[in-house]
Structure 1
């Protein structure tokens, strides 16, 4: 990338940037690969659990 391709802040124009893929999923069709604490929190939400703790003994 040439310096002429950068804006005044030194970042490339937005049309050249690639953003990570973001998807929205329904609670009944969540992906298998989830961060464990997020999956557990959503499971509690579906069950109606209002409070839970994770990682504390």
Structure 2
């Protein structure tokens, strides 16, 4: 069964863990201000949001 165009609409967002108040990984789910912002944007444009943990943005 082919996937419809709407089912393919995924917004992938790279973020980091333990970077409060912007993003934090809690029990496998991202939380924080930037996470909330991206979820609101995705909802507005009717996309599904997927958050990916970025190792390149980790503070050293």
Specify the TM-score bucket, using the shorter chain as the normaliser: under 0.3
The TM-score, its normalising length taken from structure 1, stands at 0.27
Task: Between the two structures, name the one with larger relative contact order (CA 8 Å, sep ≥ 6).
Answer: 2
Structure 1 or 2: more helix by fraction: 1
Bigger radius of gyration: 1
Structure 1 or 2: more strand by fraction: 2
